[in-house]
Amino acid sequence: MIYKNYTPHDIVLFKKSGKFQYNSQTKNYYLADKSRNEPKYEWKSLGVARCESNRESIPSPDGIPWVRLNKPTIYNLPEPEEGVLYIVSMKVARAAKELGRTDCVAPSKRVRDRYGKRLGCLGFIFV
């Protein structure tokens, strides 16, 4: 499987066997000892896929404004290729699924350093 990164950040996938501390308030993992947590894989950003929900005002029976969300529009995501998964944001992955795509994953279990700087993740979410 080939992974192509279309998030604004380089993606680093850490081995789950490393030492991490989970913070339930921030919902992030933090490196306990960087020397023992070498990255397993790294993907440079190839661009940034974005999506937009199309809103349409619709009449309501009681005069309260209603809005309908139509199918999303995705920008800067290449057409599907056999054997390729695209790493995108969770918002883009959900929009892609709504449009029938099955080739998008989002980073899962974010890893940060003790100062809160984003370092990578421990896996991917297939929506």
Q: pLDDT tens digits for 24-77?
A: 777 777 776 655 556 688 999 999 999 998 888 888 888 898 988 888 999 999
**Cβ distance 97 to 80 under 8 Å?**
no
Give the torsion through C-alpha atoms of 55, 52, 2, 44, to 10 deg: -170
State residue 111's pLDDT score: 84
User: Quick one: DSSP state of residue 34?
Assistant: G
State residue 70's pLDDT score: 84
Nearest by Cα to 87 from 52, 27, 40, 45 = 45
| Strands 118-126 vs 104-112: parallel, antiparallel or unpaired | antiparallel
Give residue-wise pLDDT tens across range 79-117.
999 999 999 999 999 999 999 999 999 999 888 877 878
pTM: 0.80
